[in-house]
Amino acid sequence: MTTPSPEKAPDNIKIVRWLIILPVAFFAVLMLASKILYTLSPDKEAQWVERETIRQCWKELERAPDSDKPRHFQGKEDCERLEFDFKTRWNVNP
């Protein structure tokens, strides 16, 4: 019968530490990079908000009118106006 030598136990601990630390560090670097890229282009957030508003407008018009949910957009004209304003402001289609 062989018994594990006391020298191999620290090697296993080092491997386990690397297996834990490496993915966590990689994820942290990705999060930092995305935050830096996001803050460098603040217009991206504004475009995203406007696109989501347009999407919600069309989605609200497609669903059946419920008495318990208030309508934020009155009709097709509101959605078209939002799209036109987006195209005018950003020079791209939403």
Q: Report whether 49 contacts 24 (CB < 8 A).
A: no
**In angstroms, what is the C-alpha Rg of the chain?**
27
Sheet strands (E) in 1-94: none
Q: Report whether 76 contacts 61 (CB < 8 A).
A: yes
In tens digits, what is the pLDDT along the chain, a chain of 94 residues? 555 555 566 788 888 899 999 999 999 999 999 888 777 777 888 898 999 999 999 998 888 777 667 778 788 899 999 999 999 998 888 8
Q: Report whether 94 contacts 49 (CB < 8 A).
A: no
Sheet strands (E) in 6-82: none
Q: Supply the pLDDT for residue 39.
A: 76
